[in-house]
Each structure stands twice: as structure tokens, then as C-alpha cells.
A and B are shown apart, each in its own frame.
Chain A
Amino acid sequence: MNLMRLLRGDTDAPEWYDFPGGVHPPENKTQSLRGPIAEFPLQEEYVVPLNQHIGAVSVPVVEVGESVLTGQVIAEAAGFISAPAHAPTSGTVTAIEDRPVPHPSGLTTGCIIIRADGHDTWRPRTPWAHLQDHHHTDLLARIQNAGLTGLGGASFPTAVKLAADRNHVDTLIVNGTECEPYITADHALMRERPQQILRGIEVAHELYDFRRILIGVEDNKPDAVSALRRALTAIPAELEARIELRVFPTRYPSGGEKQLVYLLTGQEVPAGGLPTDLGMLCHNVGTLAALADAVFDDRPLISRITTLTGNQLPWQGNIEVRLGTDIRTILDWAGYQPDPNRAERIIMGGPMMGFALDQRQLPLVKATNCLLVPTEQELPTPPPAKPCIRCGQCEQVCPAGLLPQQLMWFAQSHEWDKAESHHLFDCIECGACAYVCPSHIPLVQYYRFAKGSIRREQAEHRQSERARLRFEARQARLEREAAEKEARRRQRAEAARARQAEQATTPTADSSPADPVAAAVARSKARKQASQSAAGRATATVSPGAPELTREQLSARLDSQRRRLEKAEAKLAAAAPEHQKAMETTVSKLREQIHKTEQQLADRPEREA
């Protein structure tokens, strides 16, 4: 709670709640806000990655050589948490292949490459004038098909968020905070197209009928605030009455989802939970504007606003650019001249949470809110790390209330259980701790390392647990099979004894009914037979009359087959997940073979008897 407010005796619900921690890095926003959003020219080639969102990689639905129109679906969502991709312009699909994409891993991903025809011909579109004319399921389908993802940077599929339980959600939080230094994409959008954001809010409201809609903006964007205020006067009163525009002091990371929820409502998202647990939905202003485009104009997400900034760029500002545009082309357009005397540093995102690209020839993706090319003077390379002096500055600025230095010690000494019990996974990696660290320790790196190691260990543990279960299941099955075999053998023995007894008694009865010796011999033979098989000797000959050679051959084959099965099963238990499928087929084939041999073996005495 805000102490000053309490001291003043101000007991009304406050405009905003003070979250702990946070830092004030230089904002550096003005240089990219000098002009309006510029339309980036159409290019000859576009590279559309299939994984521009969190979730399953989308599946291409076009073929090489196929002509596509602007806005046409070229890859479909694969599963619930996924999003489709669209052709950013009309042209021809020239390749579907792996290309490097902007990702911290530097790995390549499947991409659809489109050569533009220069006409930018749209697919047929069906704009909607009024939401009320359409059914909710149609509305949701339209959102689902538009390929929307959170444009604030995390790229979570919007349709998935909007599928949250309608009865449970009553508040919409609109994130216009943009607390990262340098980035002004949302700022420019709020300044120039506030009505588009409000139309997006209208769409979400149509789905949820929110009780209240809170728009949060930092106080370093007065022009955006006044633009929003003006736009608010032009919307239906019913909606306007539910909207509150809240302006709060600038402090990083107030735009973090959890921080913003607290700032605006005084409520905390439970650890490991989501805002929907509090009945809230949180959307970025850029996402909402894209939502309006998709629903009203039938314009899927094929472009976004990206900030070009950093003093290595002669032109700094915001561009509206088609997804899939080559980042190198964009930087060249902005007049970028690489400095041959120093290593290149191009950051996607802001200076606090963005990541450095390992090359320039990469496609711009849905998550690219900013391309920052700083000079060494602007963002100096951090000096070598010194030992931690436990000064506690990191703890003072941690917005999650963690003990960053303790987490670092635990990460250093690989004490994962302690790191977890100190809430490592509540860390939002905002970088405030590393920003203030006087020893310049790359703290966030330590946390990522620890999180990665813990996740890997958990995966390994799950795998070994699976292997154990498989092994135990196999043991149980082997025992069961042995028992079944034993039971079958006993049955056959019984049958054979009965037959033998029949054979032995019938002739005696026929020739001389009073031959007690022969009868006794036959009985004793039968008893012997029965006791032999009851003793369970595996080699017991069920039928003495059976030819020895064939049976031996069969059982030898059976033995070797069993040995092979055992080996194969052991291999399966130890197999890497990618080989499991193949091993499983082998094992089941072997089992079939064994079953066949066993049957042959079981059939043989009867047929030959």
C-alpha cells in the first residue's frame, strides 16, 4: 500500500498500487518518437517462420510453386496452443525449408519463403460492420484464423487467451505500459491509432461482457494518454462507462503482466498461476489493435509496428512492416553502417529483456517489437564481473520479492532444490537485479542456467521413471506368461494322461477283461506320468510317442527367440525416446513369433500322438 496515501488519510480506492522494487534506467524513448509511424516498403522476398508463437509449430498448407494472395493462410495451427501463419503479400512460394530465425538459441526453423509479385493482391475479404450480427463461435473462429499472438513480446496465441472461461472473467487489463527503455511501438500506436485499440477492446468486451476495463499507461506518455482520452469520448457510453484509463509513475518493470495486475488492482497473481485465476485477462494495446483489424476488416496478422532505435541507426522511429521482412533490409533502409572496429550488437526487444541477434539476415517475426542497434557509448559492454559483495541492491529492486543473490549462490553451487525453494521459478527475468549490481554479475544468466538445469533434470527423472515402470511391467508380464505356460502344460499333460489311460485300458478290456497285471502297469504308468508333469519339469515329455528331433528343434528355436526378445526388451528400456517406436515394433514382432512357435510346440504332440 502507499504509505503517503495512508498518511494523507486518503482512503478512496487508489489510482494505482505501489509494487515493490523496480529500477529507473534511462528511458531513451524520444529519439524514436519524432515522426509518425512509417509504412515500410514492400520487398521482393518474405521468409515466414512456422514458429512465431509460443506452442506447437504450425503446419504448412501450401506447396512450393503455389501462388498465394496477401492474407492467405499458408500454415495452419497445429493443436490448441498454436497459431496459423499468413502470406504477408501476394506471390509465389519458392521454398519451404529451414532458415535461421530470430531466437536466442540461434537454431534454424522451418520457414515458408514467398517471392512477391509486387501487386500485393488481397485474398477476398468479408469485413464485419457490427459484432452483434455475428455469433460468438464465428467471432472466435475468426480470431483463431487470424494468427494473432501477444504483440508485447511473449507471442502467446491470442485466441487461446480469449478462450478462457467466460463466467469466470470480469476484468480486462489493457497493457499500454511499455516500460522497457527505447521501445515506442505501443506508444506510437496509442498516439496515432487509439480508436483501433478501443475497437479491439470492444471485440473482447463482446466476448466477455467485462465489469471493468482498466487501461494502464506510464506517465512518460502524456500524448498517448490524451489521444486515448479523446478517443474514449467517441465510443458507446455503455462501454465507456466501464473503461478506466489509469496513469502511474514510470518505473521498470511496471509493464510485466504480474506487476501491472498489482499496480492496477492491488491483487497478486498466485505463484504459478495466471491472471485468469483472479478473473482478469491481460492484453497488450498492440494485440487489441490487431484484434480489431482481424475482426472488423478481416485482416489477419501480417504486419506489425516495430521500433527502430539506437544511435547506430541514422533513422530512428517506428515502422509498420510486413512479417517476414529481412531484418538486414530494414536496417539498411534505416541507414545502418556496421562499425568495422567493433563487434556488432543488434538487439531484438529492449535493452533489459531483449536478446542479441547472432546475424542480420533474419526474418522479422510477430514478436519483433523493437530492433535496437546501440553504440558502445549508449550501452557499454559490462565490465568483467567481480565477486558478489552481498550489498543487497538486487533484493531492493526485485519486483517479485525474491532474494536474487541467494539464487545466484544456489545456481553457482548447483543446489537446485534450494533454488526452487527460494522461488526461482517466480523470477520473471526482468533484469532489474543485474542492472543495479555493482559487481556487474550477469545474474539473469545464472537464473536461466538454473531453470534450464532443473527442467532438464526433471525431464531426465521423468524418463527414468518411465523406464522403471516399463521394466516392472515387463517383469510382471514375463512372470504372468510363465505361469500361463505352466498352466497350459499342465492341461496338456492331463489330457495326454487321460488319453493314455484310455489307450491302455481299452485294449485290455477288449482282449482280456481279467488281466489285472496289464491294468496295474497301465495305471502305474499313468500315475508316473501325472506326477512327472505335476513336478513341473520343463523337459517333461508330454507324449512319449512324439518324435524327439522336431520338438527339440522347435524348443531350440523358441529358446533363441526368447533370448532375442529379452535383449530387445532390455534395449527398449534403455532406448532414447526417438528410438522407442522402432524398438517397440521389433519387440511386438518377436512376441508374435514366440507365440507362433509356442503354439506349434503345443500342437505338435497332439498331432503326432
Chain B
Amino acid sequence: MLTPSSPHAVGNQSVQQVMFSVWAATLPGFAALIWFFGWGYLINAVLAVATALVAEAIILRLRRRPVWFFLGDGSALLTAWLLALALPPLAPWWIPVIGTLAAIVFAKHLYGGLGNNPFNPAMVGYAVLLISFPVEMTTRWGIPAALATEAHSLLDSARVIFAGLRVDPALVDGMTMATPLDVYKNDIATLDAAELRAEPLFSAGWRVYGWEWVSGLYLLGGLYLLWRRIITWHIPVAVLGSLTLLALLFSWNPDLRVPVDLHLLGGATMLGAFFIATDPVSAATSNRGKLVFGAGIGILIYVIRTWGNYPDAVAFAVLLMNFAAPLIDHYTRPRVYGEGRS
């Protein structure tokens, strides 16, 4: 006879579904990335996911855990996928491979596997890469398709990624550049806002620039996750709210600093707010805690971007707040029914 414990009814959500939904929610943004910046993102994603699955399988075997049971939960796939979205699309092939290995082996399994990692694995992978290979990580971003002098095929992207400068330095130069955030931050020292906005990267507006489409579609994906109740509103709202507030306060003069629209739409902000910072394992848990956690990320993003050396700062902001998550949890416990009131 079976004598299981209550509740006997279980809801229809599963870890797999959660992972799959988050993955699916990134797809519109992913499609826009390929549309605007070429096939490099697809190659990145394939490389990262393949590396992640192989690494996860090997390490599960080493740890004597059931391989298929855990491989099937989709968490390794999602980690690799999110990392691939964050990497420069035309970086050498070993960039996504090393980043994914760092994420899966070091950030995830050395801490005990799914559910036990104190840091967001994808962002650990990203940080390792950014510190170890700063040139590849900052110069190999894609030129928006409309700005490129000629159209580039999947094969061109593959050649740049797998063979790189050895094959054709001119091809690499023709396909890559720095991110808009980086460009604006560096060039505003010498140009004023009006001149900068007249540059090809910024002047063509909505149809060219690309990043605001990508960000907008990430936002859409994030709203889908909210609607599905896979994430709560607290972290994204806190991230975007605090970043907007700081940008309005300190970046009111576009001749001096990167303006608020670029902060929100020009980089990885939306991806970070809805898909990275909301990683439940490494975030704060209570609703109030999530607000504090998200606000911290938004503040750090602005601070690092404005006064630090890195043009985009989502990874470091998230990792720093991961450190703080246990402390935040300790101080933001929700009020229990019947406590403190009569």
C-alpha cells in the first residue's frame, strides 16, 4: 500500500518547464540579435550549449549523480544559452567554450550543482572571460547589418569565429566594432551629444541601431515570464527603476555622460533585468529582498558604467549583489501571519 504524505495533488509546473519557458522567452530577442548582428550569435549559442551539455554530463558522471535525470532539467542548457546571448557574436570560438566551462564546472557543480550555486553561473563565465580576454570581449561585437559595407553570410561569421585574424583581418574589421555604450562613453570625451548622435551608429535611428529592438523584445519576453508567473515583478522593476533614477539624476546632460535611453536600451540592461538578475538560485528570495537586490544591481550597473572601466556592467553588478543576497535575505524576512499585530 502507498501511504504518501499530503498534499496528494501537485501543480503542473516542473523545473524543466520553468527552464524551457525562460529559454523560450529569450527567443524573440535572440532572433533580433541575429537579424541585426548576424549569425555569430547562433554559432555562439550552439558552441555554448554543446559545451554545457557535454561538461554537465561528464561532471555528473564524476559526481555519481544520475546523468539523464539532471541533464534533462534544462538548467545547463539555459545557463549556456544566456551566456551566449551576452557574449560578443564574433569572438573566437574558444571564448564561448571557456566561458561555458567556467560557468558549468566552476560556478555550478563545484558548489554542488543545481540549486546550490551562490553566483549566477552565466555571469561567472562572463566575468572570467572579460577579465581574462578583455580585447576579444570588447572589440568583437557585431556591426549592425545596415552599417556594414557588404552583406555577410553564415560562412563569413564562421570564418571569423573559427579562424579569426589568421584568415582575413579585413573581414574581421569589416564585421566587428565596439558596443554603442562603449562608443558613446569613449567618444563623448571629444564630441558633444549632437555630433555623436550624427554618427552613423546612432543617426539612423530605430531601423539601424538594432539594440533597442533587441532590448524591446527582451522586455516582451520578460513580460511573458511575468504573465506566466515564472518571475515576479520585483527584481526587474527594481533594476530598471534604480538605473533610470540614477541616469536621470546624473546623466541629465548628454554632452557629459551616457543618457538614460542608451542605459536602458543600448546594452544588456533588459537581458539582465528580466533573465539574469531573476535567476532564483542566486538572488534574494523574499519580495522585499528582491526589491533591495534588484535596486542594488541597477545602482551598480550605473556606477560601474559611469565611473568604472567597463562599458557594460550587468555581469559585475549581478555578481556583487549575489554576494549580498544572503545578507539581504536575513534582513528582509516577510512578516508572518499573526506576528506584530493583534
**B8 to chain A: which residues have CB within 8 Å?**
345, 347, 351-352, 354, 356, 372, 374, 379
Min Cβ gap B113→A in Å is 7
Bound complex: CA A78 to CA B70 (Å): 55
Q: Is B116 an interface residue, CB under 8 A from the partner?
A: yes
**B14 to chain A: which residues have CB within 8 Å?**
383, 386, 438-440
Q: Is B281 an interface residue, CB under 8 A from the partner?
A: yes
Within B1-54, the residues touching A (CB, 8 Å) are 1-11, 13-15, 17-18
Task: Name the one of B7, B18, B283 contacting A438, with C-beta atoms under 8 angstroms.
Answer: B18
Given contacts A381-B4, A444-B6, A268 and B114 within 8 Å (CB-CB)? no
Asked if B7 and A434 make an inter-chain contact with CB atoms under 8 angstroms apart, the answer reads: yes
Asked if A444 and B285 make an inter-chain contact with CB atoms under 8 angstroms apart, the answer reads: no
Q: Is A344 an interface residue, CB under 8 A from the partner?
A: yes
With most chain A CB atoms within 10 A of its CB, the pick from B11, B18, B285, B337 is B337
Asked if A435 and B2 make an inter-chain contact with CB atoms under 8 angstroms apart, the answer reads: no
**B18 to chain A: which residues have CB within 8 Å?**
389, 391, 438
For the complex, count residues of A whose C-beta is within 8 A of B: 72
Bound complex: CA A25 to CA B8 (Å): 11
Asked if A401 and B73 make an inter-chain contact with CB atoms under 8 angstroms apart, the answer reads: no
Q: Is A448 an interface residue, CB under 8 A from the partner?
A: yes
Asked if B335 and A387 make an inter-chain contact with CB atoms under 8 angstroms apart, the answer reads: no
Asked if A445 and B337 make an inter-chain contact with CB atoms under 8 angstroms apart, the answer reads: no
Q: Is B341 an interface residue, CB under 8 A from the partner?
A: yes
Asked if A271 and B338 make an inter-chain contact with CB atoms under 8 angstroms apart, the answer reads: yes
Q: Is A380 an interface residue, CB under 8 A from the partner?
A: yes
For A21, the closest partner residue in chain B by CB is: B337
**B337 to chain A: which residues have CB within 8 Å?**
20, 258, 262, 268-269, 271, 399-401, 426
Bound complex: CA A272 to CA B15 (Å): 35
Asked if A395 and B9 make an inter-chain contact with CB atoms under 8 angstroms apart, the answer reads: no
**B169 to chain A: which residues have CB within 8 Å?**
none
With most chain A CB atoms within 10 A of its CB, the pick from B70, B75, B333 is B333
Q: Is A530 an interface residue, CB under 8 A from the partner?
A: no
Asked if B9 and A379 make an inter-chain contact with CB atoms under 8 angstroms apart, the answer reads: yes
For the complex, count residues of B whose C-beta is within 8 A of A: 44
Within B212-248, the residues touching A (CB, 8 Å) are 229-230, 232
For A429, the closest partner residue in chain B by CB is: B6
Q: Is B151 an interface residue, CB under 8 A from the partner?
A: no
Q: Is B134 an interface residue, CB under 8 A from the partner?
A: no
Task: Name the one of A352, A383, A399 contacting B9, with C-beta atoms under 8 angstroms.
Answer: A352
For B18, the closest partner residue in chain A by CB is: A438
Min Cβ gap B14→A in Å is 5
Asked if A352 and B285 make an inter-chain contact with CB atoms under 8 angstroms apart, the answer reads: no
Asked if A392 and B338 make an inter-chain contact with CB atoms under 8 angstroms apart, the answer reads: no
Min Cβ gap B201→A in Å is 39
Asked if A401 and B342 make an inter-chain contact with CB atoms under 8 angstroms apart, the answer reads: no
Taking A271-B338, A387-B113 as given, write out 14 further A-B residue pairs in contact, using a Cβ cutoff of 8 Å, ordered by the A residue number.
A20-B337, A270-B338, A344-B2, A351-B7, A356-B5, A380-B10, A386-B15, A386-B114, A389-B280, A399-B337, A402-B336, A406-B285, A435-B7, A440-B10
A-B contact list, 18 entries, CB within 8 Å:
A267-B342, A269-B337, A271-B339, A272-B338, A344-B2, A345-B2, A345-B8, A353-B6, A356-B5, A358-B1, A358-B3, A392-B285, A393-B229, A403-B333, A405-B285, A435-B11, A439-B14, A445-B5
